Structure 1
Amino acid sequence: MKKVLLTGAALMLVGGMVSVDTCAAAEPGVKITGDARVRLFYQDENYGDFGNIDDDSSNTDMDSRVRLNFQGTAAGGAYAKARIRMYESTMGDIDNDPSTSSLDNSNIWVDMAYVGIPFSDQFTLELGKYRSTYGPLGTTYNFFYDDVHSTGARGIIKVDGVVINPFIEWMEESQTYSIYNLNRRDDNDEIRFGVHVKGKINKDWTLGGMVGYQMDERRESVDSLYTWEFEQNEGFFGSIYTNGKVDQFGLVAELAVTAAELNNFNSWEEDYDAYTGTDRIGSDDAGFGGYMFPNYQIDKLNIGLNLGFTDGGFQTDRAFGFVMLGSSDNSRISAARIGDTGDWMWAGLVANYQIDESLKLTGNLVYAEVDPWDDKGIDGDGPLTTSGALGAALDSAWELSAVLQYTISKGADVYFSAGYLAPEFDDSDLEDDGCFGALTRFELKF
């Protein structure tokens, strides 16, 4: 009944805000765009320590991916969008090479499919399976809510330079954790709803924020073989951010909070593993995290300091970070996720130099201090993440890394990344050996 009232209220809100106007005529048809990448990377033998693995061998590997974006537009302006992903896997068996994200032995699948209905020039409603990023778009760092896959409805309301995105999304449809899915007919859903707002203070500064609540009515999973106590992932979350500049000085900053039962909800991990009975979302305390990146432009050189923290089990988005710590470089050589295995504080000196129109060099010098969690899991200090379950907890770490970007031609870039990480582990049985990684990444946009 609660969900019926919630859905009805959302529809009445939409109906009350706008009237269905006839929008400007659009050119009907289908547009296809896309992107592709190929990555070749190397990890030395000391990466094994981060997984508590007794392995003295290095690793060289390659992966590739092609994505196609389709947009079909009707004469009245309504549209449909979909994205097809192909391959996205490392080197393997040529005759049978399924995607790592697929269970049906296929390496072609769709990760977005939704429609957009412009009721007026000020209001558009999107419904279906889409991906959301709420934060300082256009910056290097995606701290909290980046590329989150959802199914539901969201609004795009534009009023005098302010964009408002109300949303209601089904994160899990009914009880999915019975091994044989016997309970999928039951209406025990996990639903997320809230609103994101951002606006231009002036031509140089953007201020934004989001607030949301996730309710979880999924019940204990019971089938003929197993019974597990299912922990619900319910509570508030939110963030506030800014991005702007004054003359040569620039600033990007964000502060976020997640309820205790939602810590790690913004990751790419399954929130529950039915075969092991482990819940990877939630911990004992509410989580807090934030960062700021003040920077200064001197001709072709930009120098900045990335300062941040995580506390109470808070997890940053996996894309946040550098080269060896985090993976903002979009690399496969990251050795640790920022915010994982403990509460973090870090400071990173970042220098970007635009050598010429086609060549850019970025250097990072980073120090991180970590207060390792005593316990992991829903009743522990931090969430039971994949790397937190298998990986070694850091006490501290130094990173020295660089990324060279070369534009081959318009829409085609190659990146050369390399990094060295000097760790100190909480476990005295592990050697504090530094690890080295290198990566070459080709990217194409069309």
Structure 2
Amino acid sequence: MLLFYNLLRLLLAPFILLLLAAACLHPRYRARVPARLGFGLTRRLGWLQGPVFWVHALSVGELSSCAPLLRGLRSRWPEAPIVLSVTTKSGEAVARTHVAELCQAIVAAPYDLYPVVRHFIRTIRPAVFIQVETDFWPGWLQQLAQAGVPALLVNGRITARSFARYQRFSWFFAPMFRCFSALCMQTDADADNMASLGLAPARIHTLGNLKFDAAETRALTAAPGQRQAWSRGLRRRYGFAEHGPLLLLGSTHPGEEELLLLVCARLRATIPDLQILLAPRQPGRAEAISALAAQSGLIFRRRSQPREAGQGPFLLLDTLGELAGCYPLADVAFIGGSLVPLGGHNPVEAAAAGIPVCFGPHMADFAEIAAALEAVGGALRLEIRSLEDALRRLLTDERERERRGGAALNWLLAQRGVVQRHLQLIEPWLSGP
């Protein structure tokens, strides 16, 4: 019940403000807290002239999802200002590096406090608010609805863990989701889950995953020879040899990294020119992973230290926002979070590179995409006991790599058009619901 949430928010406001004031004493938060309270917002955005798109992304992952949509908005409505709000500091840094040219402004997301959200809405004056995937704040959404601003959820997905929580507390979450004018979900299962919360079917749309239309996918529609030349150039940029099989381990987690590194050491014994790029889900764990790898005889250089690390067959990608662009330099990709029961991560970016995609048994958060890639032969679901043999076969059999990688890319290309479907849905809201 949003009334209960608003009352609680009002009662706790003095304590929250005291905590935020204390946080300002810390150098890490000294600039970000005032920004999230809206200080300086009028000076930065008061000049905007409508219709304004306000796009909100939680962090790095959501930014990679919404980048194709931002390009689509800029292409369809070149004169319309786009304000992008980002919740995390790391996400804002990635936004300023990768999508700044698409936006009139990139701002820190507001705290869900009534006067703060009101100030953001009155200053930005959005014609449409677009929420990417997650980071739901009930008061924020309710104030948008009260101000008559259509709020659209894009690239929506519901994990099994989230769905269980939404069902258990449907008295709270259902009214919050009703604040959205339209809910654009990635899959039919996501749409069915949303409908089961009692939301009006007319508001729920299955439009696909925005990552299907990622720029990397478009670049890889070139001829195979051009793709290979691009891959060799990427390898040089990241300090790898141009030739020799390269295995990319993406978005890995504790509990599976030990297994993967052990398998890599065994593969290296029989494939001496094997190169490995390991990208942990949390780059801050680089020291621990480096020590773990050394125990298996694998000495990793680190992307954050390019001059010191130089070149070599093993690279630890301990930076943010680069993983998606690294898949094209690999021959085989393994998707992390899937050997341990964490639901896996999105295999779309690996499929976009036209390489075989592998993952463990735990892909519940991307079940439909994983199953579709398996069905066309573009992906392999591997148990721990079969992981080493399957990776060895793929890394040494170029014909099988080409067959499976081609199947993954062709499947992905058949899914394109997601951005266009979103733009068609957004357009009517520019002149009012």
TM-score range, shorter chain: under 0.3
Provide TM-score, normalisation by structure 2. 0.26
Give the structure, 1 or 2, with the largest relative contact order (CA under 8 Å, sep 6 or more). Answer: 2
Provide TM-score, normalisation by structure 1. 0.26
